[in-house]
Amino acid sequence: MIVSRAWRGKRFAVLGLARSGAATVRALVAAGAQVTAWDSKAEARNAFSPSLRLRGEGRGEGDSATGDALGGQAPLPTLSPEGERAISLVDPLEIDLSGFAGVVVSPGVPLNTHPIAAKTRDAGVPVIGDIELFAQARGELPAHKVVGITGTNGKSTTTALIHHILETAGIPARLGGNIGLPILGQEPLPEGGVYVLELSSYQIDLTQSLDCEVAVLLNITPDHLDRYDGFDAYAASKARLFDMQSNGHAAIIGIADEASQGVAKRLARSGRAEDVTRIAPGGCMDQSRWPALQGPHNAQNALAAIAACAALGVDQARIDRGLESFPGLPHRMERVATKNGVLFVNDSKATNAESVAPALAAYPRIHWIAGGKAKTADLDACRPGFPHIVRAYTIGEATEMFADILKHDMPVERSGTLAEAVRAAAANAVAGEVVLLSPACASFDQFRDYEDRGDQFRAAVEALA
């Protein structure tokens, strides 16, 4: 795991004990810090191994004597030489935080409404996240570089693509942040390695000193406005990734939207014009050799990844090999199979109309499977892609509503279930066409989550004759 000697003997509170919070507790205790840990959910608190002899909670029926706590990792050691326990399970709202080095909160904690914000402010204690702890530990790691990727859309694909290109090129790399395993829970890279971090606006808010050698902003469109005082504040959160950079470090910015253009202009005016690479996909771009990177949105993602890897010194030939072999992300325009010349694509992660629109733009003739637990009563964001749809197949709670919306623009079959939609689409599609699961809905009416829905789509495709 990644730790810092600077944490030894200091007191931290960790609020939120999901994967990143659990990894944070492990790293802090391994470094010799004293940790107060808390989660509002009893099951998360009970997930800690009783072998830690936690102060503040006894052993309950849900306790496990195994290492299943803390994300399936081994139990935390108790490191105090005096035998004192290194962790206590106490709500930081109920204790005096004076003298704490920091309160490490999960990105899911809404600081604009949660009382921990006022509590820490009154105590003069910084509120940070695990990415800030990683930034603090960097000086003790073997020489390395960091790529940070943010943006409203496309972060995960671009982050995974950069990581894949680096690994294909033989460069040691770690994937972390808002994707993959928590960064503090991973083993440090050898000298010359690259940490590739997907960073949400919430994670950037909790970070003060992450100086990325390469920082990437893909786009800024309205999102998460319940956590910010308007769109400008949300955009400013994204822009802070560049404010933490040193002069001379690469800033790669998509300029397809006005807010991102503003960030690029501000950086240039601040004297960093030579650091800025603007990404503006358009015109004719040959994506035919990149099977997992179809559609105009993936053109931007690919261009950003190309620029980031070039800034790290990867030559074009190795970048090309990475682009061509990139498998894509599960459940995000994932190519599942080709049967009788028909391509089956799993885009189960597209849970709203805005996220479906790029998939509909990516293929010329589509059999579209849509529906589930609807978030809105319209599909207006998908309308530009309607000319590409040969036939729609509606499923789940939204079966009738979506059929009524779509019936004036295309043939529609009310399939009801995903398995029936796959069978019907496979029967109707001809070679050269695509069967696309891109639901524009949440999954909870018929599935455990979007991943379960995607897995069942894959199973239904595999079951076809």
Task: Write out the catalytic residue numbers.
Answer: 155, 178, 224
Nearest to 342 by CA among 402, 271, 430: 430
In this structure, are residues 299 and 281 in contact, taking their beta carbons and an 8 Å threshold? yes
Longest CA–CA separation in the chain, Å: 75
With residue 276 as reference, give the H or E element that holds it: strand 276-279
Give the whole-angstrom CA distance, residue 200 versus residue 338.
Answer: 34
In this structure, are residues 253 and 314 in contact, taking their beta carbons and an 8 Å threshold? no
Nearest to 367 by CA among 429, 454, 410: 429
Nearest to 150 by CA among 230, 254, 228: 254
In the three-class reduction of DSSP (H, G, I as helix; E, B as strand; rest coil), residue 343 is classed as strand
**String of DSSP letters for 163-191:** HHHHHHTT--EEEEESSSS-GGGSPPPPT
Q: Cα-flanking dihedrals φ and ψ of residue 453, to 5°?
A: -60, -45
Give the whole-angstrom CA distance, residue 219 versus residue 300.
Answer: 10
- Kindly give the residue spans of alpha helices, DSSP state H, lying in 340-428: 353-362, 399-406, 418-428
- Name residue 215's beta-bridge partners: 148, 251
Strand ranges, E, within 123-254 = 127-128, 144-150, 173-177, 193-198, 214-217, 250-254
Q: What is the torsion angle, in degrees rounded to the nearest 10, for the CA atoms of residue 137, residue 140, residue 141 and residue 144?
A: 90
Give the whole-angstrom CA distance, residue 111 versus residue 276.
Answer: 31
Nearest to 133 by CA among 264, 7, 318: 7
What residue type is assigned to position 69 of the chain? A
Tally of CA atoms within 13 A in the half-sphere of 439 that contains its CB: 33
Give the distance, in angstroms, between the CA of residue 76 and the centroid of all CA atoms in the same chain: 27
Give the whole-angstrom CA distance, residue 93 versus residue 36.
Answer: 11
